[in-house]
Amino acid sequence: MRRDLLSLDKANAEQVARHLVMVMNLLGEDPTAALAHARAARERAGRVGVVRETAGIAAYTAGEWQEALGELRTARRLTGSNALLPLIADSERGLGRPDRAIDLARSAEGRALTGEEATEMLIVESGARLDLGEPEKAVVTLQAANLKPGQTGDGPARLFYAYATALLAAGRRDDAVTWFMNAASADIEDITDAEDRLVELADGVDLVEPGVDEQTAPAPVISEPAEARRAAPAPTETTEPADERPAASAPTEILESADEVQAEPVREVSEKSAEAEVGSSASESAEESDADGGVEQVEAETPTPEPVVASLASGYDALLLDLDGTVFAGAEALPGAVEALATVGVPAYYVTNNASRRAPDVAAHLTELGFEAVADQVVTSAQAAARMLGQQLRPGSRALVVGTDGLAQEVREVGIGVTRSADDRPDAVIQGHSPTTDWAILSEAVLAINNGALWVACNIDPTLPSERGFLIGNGSMVAAVANATGKTPLVAGKPAAPLMADAIERSASTHPLVVGDRLDTDIEGAVTVGVDSAVVLTGVTTASHLLVAIPEQRPTYVVDDLRGLLSAPDTARIGEQPGWTVVVERRENEISVDVSAAPDAVDAALLPALAAATWSALDAQGGNESESDVVVTITTSDDRVRGLLDALGVR
């Protein structure tokens, strides 16, 4: 750990080390306090792998699943080690996504694990199988582990306990008793409640713990005292065994006759999942006892669920959200944004071109405004630019920083020294937004670049939205340096690929949706990396801008604000819309669009329909024309349509 902290300055390394020691001291007795120390270490050394790993373990132990997932993924990326995969998979279970946990376990990396990590992954996969109502598969999964009785220690105790739990869920009560006994014998540190389970089985009591509401039972992996926990998925030595009490909305296995023991439910369904409404009825399975006292399981018919209209966001596994003009404007959250993101049910990551603040500061600002956010959900152009420097320069090189102290710290954390003077002969110049940037520091940048320094710009946004309007942005400052040097910088932020690629990697997404207010950064950035996008009309882009967007700046959807993420996707998707008739006439340098609506036409579908028709006409004119090249005229004889166009600002 000392070696890993060498990239920090001595004083900072000392502080980080002290926080890490406190994490380990407090983890078993006060997970919340341990997590606070882990967060403090992360704020000082967010690019150090062992720090992010410690933060991930602390968040996991405290039951902060989303934070744990982000930290552990980051640690894995920084260290290149797959040893954290079991913890990552178990965090997916904690978030109610057992299918993702199974995918990780069955992946090439998951299968390549060896030793204790391999066993832990099998325990997690078995728990995920139980979450999905597949007890027999859970049993088979654990049979690949070393189930040799007579072993002692935390690892065997957790393994035997998990196997007993799976056997019980599968209806094999006698076998389950045997393996709870093996778990109790192996558990010399009393990390499981195997002995209590044996007493319950012997007394024939209900195995769902008293006081637990079956409709709101906690997720499969929770932070509780060891004696109250059920299942064993706990992938590290520093983590207690976790709970295996899934929600009662899933099928219940009847193991004995009516006066015998009833096993607990074996599947956890996220409260936000559409499956939750269906699963509760499935738990009403019937039972029939045979002459020998055995039980024949009879599955009740599951009622056909009511059709559920999916929201726009539900078709994606992550939202990559711009900040200024999309989520907030300066010190104010935009209307409906807090409520929409709290309801949407899809992991949100905040991707900002603004390089003036570090991720923990951005997360704190979001929290102050009412959003739920942690530092690892924030991806900044400062991080992406510093990473570019780390890839371009040798360790120990020096960069002249034009920007805030936060940007300077990001540079230090990739092993690059920092200066503010061209006299130090820096190897590179990194330029990000700062409200204090002045002639003097821009002149230092010009001197260094003219002396051959590599030049990296965090972003080239010409303006910065605020509650007062549009302020001067980093791109305008970059333009001044470019004009003075005749050079062009490498760009990290949107629409360039590095920041978008970092965000996709951070979210571990395979099908993300980019959401932003700027066509030339957010939407073009999505097009650059080949993913879907939605433009909101709360920032820079207006309806008129959208109608004449060039091909590389065309979004998949358009919505008024973030509340549109909860709407039906077809209504927001740019294309032909039911009930809307759009007639286009093309003349030289002019396009005339006449629009009318049927009585059942959806108001929100007007702009998507108009945009699709206008883009088609622009492309037929030759493509890539800008607003100044072609005049587009919208006409209508429908008073309803005229009112909607006026509301959109389209005259």
Task: Please list the active-site residues.
Answer: 322, 324
How far, in Å, CA of 497 to CA of 369, rounded? 29
Which residue, 461, 452, 462, 449, is CA-closest to 496?
A: 461
How far, in Å, CA of 389 to CA of 382, rounded? 11
For the CA atoms of 234, 237, 239, 242, the dihedral, rounded to the nearest 10 degrees, stands at: 30
How far, in Å, CA of 34 to CA of 50, rounded? 15
Structure tokens at 476: 């305008």
Which residue, 638, 634, 628, is CA-closest to 650?
A: 634
For the CA atoms of 438, 459, 385, 64, the dihedral, rounded to the nearest 10 degrees, stands at: 110
Length of the chain: 651
Residue 589 zone, left/alpha/beta (φ > 0; ψ -120 to 50; rest): left
How far, in Å, CA of 60 to CA of 178, rounded? 31
Q: In which residue are the tokens 């929201």 written?
A: 311
User: 331 — phi, psi (to 5°)?
Assistant: -100, 15
How wide is the angle at C-alpha 88 spanned by C-alphas 85 and 90, nearest 5°? Answer: 110
End-to-end Cα distance, the chain: 63
How wide is the angle at C-alpha 574 spanned by C-alphas 573 and 578, nearest 5°? Answer: 80
How far, in Å, CA of 404 to CA of 107, rounded? 41
Kind of pairing between the strands at 557-559 and 580-587: unpaired
How wide is the angle at C-alpha 335 spanned by C-alphas 329 and 336, nearest 5°? Answer: 125
Which residue, 74, 78, 59, is CA-closest to 7?
A: 78
How wide is the angle at C-alpha 48 spanned by C-alphas 44 and 51, nearest 5°? Answer: 70
- List, in sequence order, every beta strand (DSSP E) within 383-472: 398-402, 417-419, 428-431, 454-457, 463-466, 469-472
**Number of Cβ within a 10 Å radius of residue 148:** 9
How far, in Å, CA of 369 to CA of 164, rounded? 47
Q: In which residue are the tokens 């942005």 written?
A: 473
How far, in Å, CA of 492 to CA of 414, rounded? 15
How far, in Å, CA of 463 to CA of 469, rounded? 10
Who contacts 631 (Cβ-Cβ below 8 Å, separation ≥6)?
589, 590, 591
8 A C-beta contact, residue 419 and residue 401: yes
How far, in Å, CA of 574 to CA of 563, rounded? 17
